[in-house]
Amino acid sequence: MFSRRAFLSRSALIGCSLAASPLVTPISFAATPGENRLVVIILRGGMDGLDVVQPYGDPDFARLRGAPGVADPDGPVDLDGFYALHPALRPLLPLWQQGQLGFVQAVSTPYRDKRSHFDGQDLLEAGITDLSRGLSRDGWLNRLLQHVPGAGAETAYAIGRDSMAILNGPAPVSGWSPDADLALSPQAMRLAALVMKDDPLFETAMARAFALADSDGDPVAIDGGTDEMMSMIESDRKASRGAGAESRIARFAAERLRADTRIASFSINGWDTHEAQARPLGRALARLSDTILALRDALGAPVWGKTTVVAMTEFGRTVRLNGTRGTDHGTGGLMILAGGAVRGGRVFGDWPGLTEAALYQGRDLMPTRDVRAHAGWLLHGLFGLERSLVERVVFPGVDLGADPGLLL
């Protein structure tokens, strides 16, 4: 008899790429009671917040980075007389003017000094103070889900090829990847259904894989042979790594958020700018801008009005440019907020200044607040979590402090 094991071992011969299957590639979503939505974007690599939202009103900024050129029509855009926005984010200006875009300067996780991407991202997604003390390594979004009544697998989605540790944990979470299309011939699909019919759990999982693979509009099945199917898989992978991949992710996330999903999380890479920072940072910001606008457009005004998008990075970068016109790993950084639920049109946070005495270790922007505190207030406002629960369970060890008023 043809078994599941045989089916899986021969899947390449019938055109099913399990490596590209949503069963084994990450994208995370979740559904909670209520109408509020949360999208968390992890900016991997350490975004330079001083270049994204430039404090040109600080007299030391020009000394450290040069004049921002806010009078240049192609340069940074003045926001409030003190801060200017990187020109690559110019498409987001209407959101700023409508009060749907905001920023938080001088924030950081508790991570200090070692400046490792891996440890920094682990702490950011785990939402804890220290990775060496045996604290839970599950993600803070998953801990949130464990305390939201009625949360199920459709409540939260982890989206994309990167592992989303922020959603790891015992609470059920769904996933999808932009290269998750299943290239199956009609005969292979019938064979799969036959093999799985006596195993309800596996049959359900396979049916869900077909549904997720087809949900972004690309075909699940084609009529050609193995070569054609493998060619389609490879084309999908290349497309998902190329321009527009994040917008495709955003559109898929929006589709789920318009339905039962209430939380989505994915990552955008490309923020490690050690050399010639201007070009890679501009490209990464353009992709982020496209992603946010794709979310807004695909969600539609009613859902966008109940949505909060928060973009977070593992650490900031040095205040001085290095010898190759790049920046090295730093400390204080920037949080980006967008959405119709956000109290935008302003830059939040206590600005520490850029004098030599004000810098962290004489090289970095000094953090003035824990980024987890701002995220904690978002969870309190969006999902009604008690302050004590946020401080003890979701972000253990954090002091939320005063409400910064990030939400309407």
Q: How confident is the model at residue 231, as a pLDDT? A: 54
* Greatest extent of the chain over all pairs of C-alpha atoms, in Å: 77
Closest CA to 385 of 156, 150, 144, 39: 144
Q: How confident is the model at residue 130, as a pLDDT? A: 87
Cα distance between residue 152 and residue 33, in whole Å: 10
- With a cut of 70, which residues of the chain have pLDDT below it? 1-33, 133-136, 179-243
Q: How confident is the model at residue 193, as a pLDDT? A: 62
Q: How confident is the model at residue 221, as a pLDDT? A: 47
Paired sense of beta strands 84-85 and 333-338, if any: unpaired
Q: CA angle 155-370-28, nearest 5°? A: 20
Q: How confident is the model at residue 4, as a pLDDT? A: 36
Q: How confident is the model at residue 236, as a pLDDT? A: 47
Phi, psi of 248, rounded to the nearest 5 degrees: -65, -45
Element (H, E) at 203: helix 200-214
Residue 264 near residue 309, CB atoms below 8 Å: no
| Residue 123 CA to its chain's centroid (Å) | 15
What b/e string do you get for 189-201 counting C-beta neighbours within 10 Å, with b at 16 or more? Answer: bebbeebbeeeee
* 3-state helix/strand/coil string of 338-391: ECCCECCCCEECCCCCCCHHHCECCCECCCCEEHHHHHHHHHHHHHCCCHHHHH
Q: How confident is the model at residue 161, as a pLDDT? A: 81
